[in-house]
Amino acid sequence: MLRFIGARLLGTLPVVLILSIGVFLMLHLTPGDPVQIMLGQDADPQAIAALRAELGLDQPLPVQYVRWAGNALHGDLGRSIRTNQPVTDAIVSRLPVTIELSLVALVISLVIGLPAGMLAAVRRNSLLDLASTGVALAGVSLPSFFLGILLILVFALRLRWVPPSGYTPLVQDPAMNVKQMLMPAIALGAALAGIVARLMRSSLLEVLGADYMRTARAKGLSEPASVIGHAVQNALLPVVTTVGLQVGALLGGAILIETIFALPGIGRLAVDSIFARDFPIVQGVVLFLALVRVLSNLIADLLYGRLDPRIAHA
């Protein structure tokens, strides 16, 4: 198992290196002069030269990258052009909102997707199976931002059950926090719920037809006991991988959802920084989201090896 973990950790190093280079080059691939864009077309030449020296843009590109990467390893991603706040502090201050949104969306997707997929597999070709498949397809097909707008129109503006936007910290008002986070989490987690339901159905159907399942039934084991005790664990293997891959997608989708529902997370921070051309903030957010995606994939690989020891010892 330790060898398996070490191999996976070593495999992430080239990915992180390539990601860091790509994020670093964002500033240099931007059309026009980044410093000119930051300060405006009518900026004083001396101010342009000073900012260029402050950002290290007057040095060769490899030197700039080594300097930027070294600072990033120490948690220094530069400072915001608008507020002069450290980029790391800006991301950390917005992170709890995005984490809460992503976790609630993940829980909703699993609570809906896993039972729906299991019931659809056990009751194959029944009305329940058709209904589950239809709902799963709808969840996958509807874009998260479109579903979010529909939820606002129906439940906030027409029925007035929940507020249309805004954010209240959980410790300040738990009830209001739940009301404000419910619609964004549903909009963000609906696609993943559909993916989990479809994947769980197909995986469980394959496992239910395996030889060892027929043997378990022949020994007198009841159907619920054989499904829960034997089939579900093996059927979860591809689901775990998919969920691990989709965690990064949840954070990426949070950018649109936080903008629609006016949530002060890192997604909203990225959008505001793009419009303000605050490139250090944009760089920091993109690097953070990319690293989270790599980390989620790594955790999914490790969980896969934990669920199936044959993979860890291969």
User: Is 0.85 surpassed by the pTM of this model?
Assistant: no
For the stretch 166-185, pLDDT in tens is 899 988 999 999 999 999 99
What pLDDT score does 56 carry? 73
Confidence class for position 311, pLDDT limits 50, 70, 90: low
What average pLDDT is seen over the chain? Answer: 81
Confidence class for position 309, pLDDT limits 50, 70, 90: low
- In this structure, of 7-11, 46-50, 88-92, 176-180, the range with the lowest mean pLDDT score is 7-11
For the stretch 279-297, pLDDT in tens is 788 888 888 888 888 887 7
Architecture of domain 90-312: Orthogonal Bundle (1.10)
For the stretch 194-235, pLDDT in tens is 888 888 888 888 877 666 666 666 666 666 656 666 667 777
What pLDDT score does 211 carry? 63
What pLDDT score does 187 carry? 92
Average pLDDT of span 81-101: 89
How is the chain split into domains, by residue range? 34-76, 90-312
Average pLDDT of span 295-301: 77
For the stretch 242-286, pLDDT in tens is 777 777 778 777 888 998 998 999 988 988 888 877 878 888 888
Percent of all residues in the chain with a pLDDT value above 70, rounded to a whole number: 84
User: CA-to-CA distance for 2 and 103, rounded, in angstroms?
Assistant: 29
Confidence class for position 76, pLDDT limits 50, 70, 90: confident
What pLDDT score does 229 carry? 61
119 or 308, which is more confident: 119
What pLDDT score does 308 carry? 61
What pLDDT score does 105 carry? 92
Confidence class for position 307, pLDDT limits 50, 70, 90: low
- In this structure, of 10-19, 33-42, 64-73, 178-187, the range with the lowest mean pLDDT score is 33-42
